[in-house]
Structure 1
Amino acid sequence: MALPVRLCVFFSALLIVLGCAGGPSTTSPEQSTSSSPPIVASLGDTTITLSEFESAYRSSNGGSTPADDSLSSYQDFLEQYVNYRLSLRAARSAGFDTLSSLQQEIRSYRDKMARPRLMRSEVYKPLTRSLYRRQKTKVDVSHILARVSPDAPPEDTLQAYQRMQSIADSLARGVPFGDLAYRNSDDPSAQQKGQRGFRGRLGYIGAGQIVKPFEDRMYNVPPDSTSDVFRTRFGYHILKVHDRRASKPPIRISHLMVRPGADSMEARQKLDSLRTEIVSRGASFDSLARQHSEDRRSAPKGGDLGTVTSRESLPPSFQRAVATLDSVGAVSPIVRSQYGYHLIKLTNREEPKSYQASYKELKQQIADRPRVDRRKNAFSDSIRTQVGVTVDTTRILGTARISSVDTLSRPLLSLTQDDASSDTSVPVATLGDSTYTLKQLARHVMQADGGARMSVGTVLEDFLNEKAFQYAQAQLQETDSSFAATMKEYREGLLVFQFMQDSVWTVAAQDTAALRQFYQERRDQYRFPDRVRTLVLRAPSDSLFAPYGLSASPSLSSLVRRATADSLVRLDTAMVTDTSLEVYQKALSMDDGSITGPIQHDGQALLLARDTLLPARTKTFEEALSSVIRDYQSHYKGHVHARLRRRYDVQTYPKRLRNAFSETAPSRMSSTN
């Protein structure tokens, strides 16, 4: 069975046994000592305690603690849980846990689940927590850039670094940062007066708006201080932090604009009059904006300008006006901008979100950025340091006939093929107790995005980082108790499923003699109700039924002949009962031979043609077979569980469950039945 199908079964493995509580229970006292948890069932040499029962019951309810479930519900579940534990024990006794196919399936599931979990805990959560914390503050920053591409030759890189170091020396001697940025920065905006970035001044920037090395520096450098020389993918930088301030929450604003004509005083007087109507007389800002605003884009929307996440994107006069609006609904005094005169209304101010509520949005901000790769590589490097790594660079270069690790890795691609002239199966690297061959490294080059264009050293680093991450995946059960519990649940569910498949479902479905006997003993349970045999014609459009001459009430035989020859019409037969879809139940009140439609249903046009009423009758064995198999499997499952209960001498103490989920310690320790 394919993995996706099995997943639906494994995590509901407990439900496999829920259909048959079965088996005897007892109220004979098996006393618990006052120092041990109460026992609610025993299975030979093992026991089920009240706390274990509570954990299983809670898990079956989606992890929640029941508020008002009854004692009978607990007792039913105890019988079901005992059946589950018996099936698990029988599966292990039969050696199902040693099957290579099941072990491989468990490993596949572990790898499938471990990687996203590890990415979430070791990569995304640290990055998003840092981003969430930093987004509460914005930094006023300037920078100087010496542009150099990531793949620049060493001499160009060195020249750019030396130039930036010279600028850093000038800063140390007191030369103004803005003067140096204007004369030396490779950021074009540094020389463009009136533009953001003029003389290096970028203004207030928040987390997530710029590459991470730059972000890290600007949040760590104190105000009125400059950074060291550092590199991003754009080149070398020096930055200066001028100020920090708390980030303002996103707001939504509307405006009403009047353009000044020859007489600007007239425009101001008009806005002043409109503001009086709004503030003093309660007139609707939206309505007046639709009538009087000369901003053609926002006027039809009542002046709405949408949500403003960064107030720095607003014109300076708008920024100053918005800062004075202390409550939702407040309207500003008249504001002047390069476009005209405005009234501004604050229509909404968002409340800060919690980290949990912001997580999805924060993750989207970083998902496709280099900071994710940096964090993942840093985590992989910590694993490599922890478990130890060795690399035989000489063997790699010699076998591939490559001169140095700075050479492109393309020659390694030839080693992915079996070649008797070169030994690619000998180890060239180790990580912990794992060894890796040159062929594995060569395959990594082939599979990595742009691997052949990377140097041997870069590919080797990428390969070892990936193997370290895979190592952490394999060890996650040892370091993450929650993941260990998930894997235990999956593993046990898989074993129970395999036991039920081999010992119950398959056996029951293939025992034809037992199935026939089961049917004969219960044949009155397998009956067809009254049914109306109905022809159903389906077409993409009701116009396709126009040539069928429905107004002349054609016979059913002619209708069938016509539909059979029509490639655009599908013909089905439906046995309609009072439990059929409502659209088919129209046939129940029709006369034999009558036709109704077209009826629109689920994007199609239907014709219903009633044939005849088929009276209720007992199903034959062949007609009832699927239902018989299902019922007999459930019946046979009860026998299997009863047999297991006898084998393992099962005893249950259902009355002790009255203390389930009790918050009173003494009652939890009760030894009475």
Structure 2
Amino acid sequence: MLPLPHSPMIRLGYTLGVLLLAVLGVACSSSPKTTEPPPSAPPSDDTVVAHYADTTLTLAELDSAFIDAAGGPSAAADSSLQAYRDFLDRYLHFRLKVRAAYDAGLDTLPRVRREVHDYRQERARPQLLREEVYEPLARTLYERRTQAVDVSHILIRPASSPDTLTAYRTAQAIADSVGQGVPFGDLALRNSDAPAAREEGRRGYRGRLGYVQAGDIAKPFEDRMYALSPGETSDVFRTKFGYHILKVHDRRPAEQPIELAHLLRRPQGDSAATRRLLDSLRTKILDGTLSFAAAAREYSQDPQSASKGGALGEVVPRALPSPLRETVATLDSVGAVSESVQSRFGYHLLKLIDRQQRPSFDEAYSDLKDRLVGRPRAEQRTAALARTVRTEVGASTDTTRLLATARAASADSLARPLLTYADTLSGAAPPAATLGDSVYTIDQMAQHLMQTDGGAQTTLAELIESFLNEKALQYAATRRAQTDPALRQNIEEYRDGTLLFRYMQDSVWAAAARDTAGLRRTYRQNRTKYQFPERVRTLALRAPADSVLRPYATLYGRDSSVTAVLDAAATDSLISTDTAYVTDRSADVYQSVRAAADGEATGPLAQGDEWLFLIRDARLPPRPMQFEEARSRVVQDHQDRLEQRVLRRLRERYDVETFPERLRPPVSDAPTAP
């Protein structure tokens, strides 16, 4: 099926257009089967089954549309030959309307072009960024995260922006001292600007960060950390925090989390008795006479986990105290229960609830991407992609014109004056930048600045870079949509659906709504069709819970006063009221009022996520609808008449000819081999 657009009006109309095909699918499965025998020589896929103007429709094209409309090959195979022939006319009408829209130039309308552009970007850009930005970075993270690295670092922050040379020289002198054998921790303690370097007990004391993994730190730091062997020290390098030197102490395989439960006993002077109790409990757990969860709830002295059957949730083994970590390593299967083991907290029984396996890359991709979105490494790779596109297709900026418009002396000046430019523009906006064969105006750059987070603090140089990068990414997404067959087809279908809506809006829907005389004529000609059936006028009170409605039921039951109920509901934010006209076609929840007497109440009654309290008012006999009462139905009928008139004109205009006799039967009607 074709995708739906963004804008509410386009989406509504396009839904109606797509429903043309969806309705065809319903018709396909519900039409009676024909008894006509199949042709003796089945037609081939390139058989022409219709032509109009300079266009032919082949059996293969019709098959593809039929399968989509029916909901898949199986549903199509269960349809009749007659339904297939009906579909030929209906699908052809769809194509005729789209052709008429193109011939009318509706595809050149700025609003249509913008809708299609936005949809193309919405579909193609995520694919582009996944393949060119996120997937390569995520794969690197995935591969690196098999190892954790024990690392220390020294940070030297520049005292001010221009003072980077002094900071670099300081960092280089420290690196030289490391090379001469001065202990890294001593140098970090005396020189590092990292906040924790001189705070004993904190992670980072004397520069020691401990074990870290890819994705937890800045990319330049991570790149060097994984490139060094244990004992090696890096060169001086820069991050947004300042200049760093790092040293790798160790590497080890990264551990997968496990799910663990425990039962804890704190000995009260007699550790032997505590061990005997745990041994006894373990025996009962292993022979099945007592579950671990029940034992933990009754005997564990860890109040936080005892109520949860001893569950500790997910833990990383290395985070456990050493005796527990060693014991967990001996639990070789899910469900295994350890012997009693002592830690500084007391004596434990441990149960391995689950041991996570490392997910595949595809399984891990979503979480890995979350680590990347908005991070510098992803933003830098995105910018690099944009610059590559700019180099490929060519880009330029009229900096002189931009400076003059912003009344700025240099590109380092703030672009803020452009924020008012879009409001004061008179006449045609002058060009300011190009990308490939596209020309962009100062007005477009000003609009981009308005949509930029922190635009008031953006310099002209930053604006130029940001604007051209954005246009380069749009260009790359458009190119992707043109070269990817599935994307190209999807966007063409979207464009056709958008044009179908525009054409129907102009030639049928809006025309019918404006044609007052035609609506009146349709009403008069079909007056007997527009009738109210017997109805029961009912007051309905709605609330999110039955308990909210019960006081109203009590109130009405006491004095049968609708006025009292409405007055009380008027000040109750949880209650909404409306008048329902109940017929034999109303939802089941309303049917009870049809058998009730006037003034009788029923409920609370459940309906989906809400509750109803219903008070029957009166029975209304059948009667004809007045024009205004029937208007929505009249408009629909008049639209149908206008649409048939439009279709007759289109068939004449495009010299339509169909060949239903050339259709082969669906699979279910085809003769079977003996």
* TM-score bin, normalised by smaller chain: 0.7 to 0.9
Partner of 1:214: 221
Distance 1:645 1:530, change over 3 A: same
Partner Cα separation in structure 1 for residue 71 and residue 226 of structure 2 = 42
Q: Which stretch of the first structure deviates more once superposed, 383-392 or 176-185?
A: 176-185
Aligned pair 1:594/2:599, yes or no?
A: yes
Aligned pair 1:499/2:503, yes or no?
A: yes
SS at match of 2:588: coil
Partner Cα separation in structure 2 for residue 98 and residue 208 of structure 1 = 47
Distance 1:76 1:122, change over 3 A: farther
Partner of 1:270: 277
Partner Cα separation in structure 2 for residue 362 and residue 460 of structure 1 = 31
Partner of 1:154: 162
Aligned pair 1:235/2:245, yes or no?
A: no
Report if the CA contact (8 A) 1:533-1:576 is conserved. Answer: yes
Write the deviation string for residues 543-572 of structure 1: whole angstroms up to 9, x where unpaired. Answer: 457666x44556xxxx45985898449775
1:79-118 matches, within 5 Å, as 79-111=89-121, 115-116=125-126, 118=128
Distance 1:306 1:535, change over 3 A: closer
Partner of 2:344: 338
> Pick from 462, 465, 468: which aligns with 2:466?
462
Report if the CA contact (8 A) 2:519-2:638 is conserved. Answer: yes
Partner Cα separation in structure 1 for residue 16 and residue 242 of structure 2 = 55
Letter in 1 for 2:214: A
Distance 1:425 1:94, change over 3 A: closer
Aligned pair 1:131/2:136, yes or no?
A: no
> Pick from 487, 493, 497: which aligns with 2:491?
487
Distance 1:239 1:49, change over 3 A: farther
Distance 1:639 1:351, change over 3 A: farther
Partner Cα separation in structure 2 for residue 256 and residue 511 of structure 1 = 81
Q: Which stretch of the first structure deviates more once superposed, 340-349 or 184-193?
A: 184-193
Distance 1:214 1:282, change over 3 A: farther
- Give me the TM-score of the superposition, normalised by structure 1: 0.80
Aligned pair 1:49/2:49, yes or no?
A: no
The CA deviation at 1:273 is: 3.4
Partner of 2:32: none
Distance 1:12 1:291, change over 3 A: same
The CA deviation at 1:114 is: 5.1
The CA deviation at 1:451 is: 4.0
1:430-579 matches, within 5 Å, as 430-435=434-439, 447-453=451-457, 456-511=460-515, 523-536=527-540, 541-543=549-551, 550-551=557-558, 559=562, 563=566, 567-568=570-571, 572-579=578-585
Distance 1:658 1:171, change over 3 A: farther
Report if the CA contact (8 A) 1:14-1:81 is conserved. Answer: no
Report if the CA contact (8 A) 1:140-1:241 is conserved. Answer: yes
Write the deviation string for residues 185-210 of structure 1: whole angstroms up to 9, x where unpaired. Answer: 44455566666545544343233222
- Give me the TM-score of the superposition, normalised by structure 2: 0.80
Report if the CA contact (8 A) 1:164-1:237 is conserved. Answer: yes
Report if the CA contact (8 A) 2:397-2:432 is conserved. Answer: yes
Report if the CA contact (8 A) 2:43-2:664 is conserved. Answer: no
The CA deviation at 1:491 is: 1.3
SS at match of 1:255: strand
The CA deviation at 1:255 is: 1.0
SS at match of 1:297: helix
Task: Report the number of matched residues.
Answer: 647
Partner Cα separation in structure 1 for residue 229 and residue 86 of structure 2 = 65
The CA deviation at 1:52 is: 2.4
The CA deviation at 1:241 is: 4.1
> Pick from 309, 320, 324: which aligns with 2:326?
320
Aligned pair 1:305/2:312, yes or no?
A: yes
Partner Cα separation in structure 2 for residue 68 and residue 33 of structure 1 = 17
Partner Cα separation in structure 1 for residue 656 and residue 404 of structure 2 = 67
Q: Which blocks of at least 5 consecutive residues in structure 2 are unaligned?
A: 29-35
Write the deviation string for residues 213-251 of structure 1: whole angstroms up to 9, x where unpaired. Answer: 323333344555443322223322233445545443332
> Pick from 12, 16, 29: which aligns with 2:20?
16
The CA deviation at 1:362 is: 3.0
The CA deviation at 1:303 is: 1.0
The CA deviation at 1:254 is: 0.7
Q: Which stretch of the first structure deviates more once superposed, 288-297 or 631-640?
A: 631-640
SS at match of 1:353: coil
The CA deviation at 1:329 is: 0.5
The CA deviation at 1:394 is: 6.3
Partner Cα separation in structure 2 for residue 44 and residue 162 of structure 1 = 78
Partner Cα separation in structure 1 for residue 505 and residue 207 of structure 2 = 71
Distance 1:358 1:5, change over 3 A: farther
Distance 1:289 1:552, change over 3 A: closer
Report if the CA contact (8 A) 1:409-1:454 is conserved. Answer: yes
Partner Cα separation in structure 2 for residue 175 and residue 352 of structure 1 = 40
The CA deviation at 1:92 is: 2.1
Letter in 2 for 1:387: V
Report if the CA contact (8 A) 2:152-2:210 is conserved. Answer: no
Distance 1:463 1:641, change over 3 A: closer
1:39-438 matches, within 5 Å, as 39-60=48-69, 68-72=77-81, 73-111=83-121, 115-116=125-126, 118-135=128-145, 137-148=146-157, 152-155=160-163, 157-172=164-179, 177=184, 180-181=187-188, 184-187=191-194, 189=196, 196-197=203-204, 200-222=207-229, 225-279=232-286, 283-308=290-315, 310-391=316-397, 405=411, 418=424, 429-435=433-439
Write the deviation string for residues 425-452 of structure 1: whole angstroms up to 9, x where unpaired. Answer: 7655543344556676566556533344
> Pick from 5, 8, 11: which aligns with 2:9?
5
Identity %: 44
Partner Cα separation in structure 1 for residue 138 and residue 177 of structure 2 = 37
Partner Cα separation in structure 2 for residue 316 and residue 449 of structure 1 = 49
Partner Cα separation in structure 1 for residue 289 and residue 203 of structure 2 = 40
Distance 1:85 1:530, change over 3 A: same
SS at match of 1:227: coil
Distance 1:494 1:372, change over 3 A: same
Report if the CA contact (8 A) 2:403-2:411 is conserved. Answer: yes
Partner Cα separation in structure 1 for residue 568 and residue 283 of structure 2 = 77
Letter in 2 for 1:626: S
SS at match of 2:633: helix
Report if the CA contact (8 A) 2:416-2:457 is conserved. Answer: yes
Write the deviation string for residues 320-365 of structure 1: whole angstroms up to 9, x where unpaired. Answer: 3222222111122333333222222111123443444444333333
Letter in 2 for 1:139: A
Write the deviation string for residues 574-629 of structure 1: whole angstroms up to 9, x where unpaired. Answer: 322122233432221123x3322563667566351332351x45545554442243
Distance 1:33 1:628, change over 3 A: closer
SS at match of 1:141: strand
Alpha-carbon RMSD across the aligned residues, in angstroms, is 4.4
The CA deviation at 1:415 is: 6.7
Report if the CA contact (8 A) 1:18-1:80 is conserved. Answer: no
The CA deviation at 1:14 is: 3.6
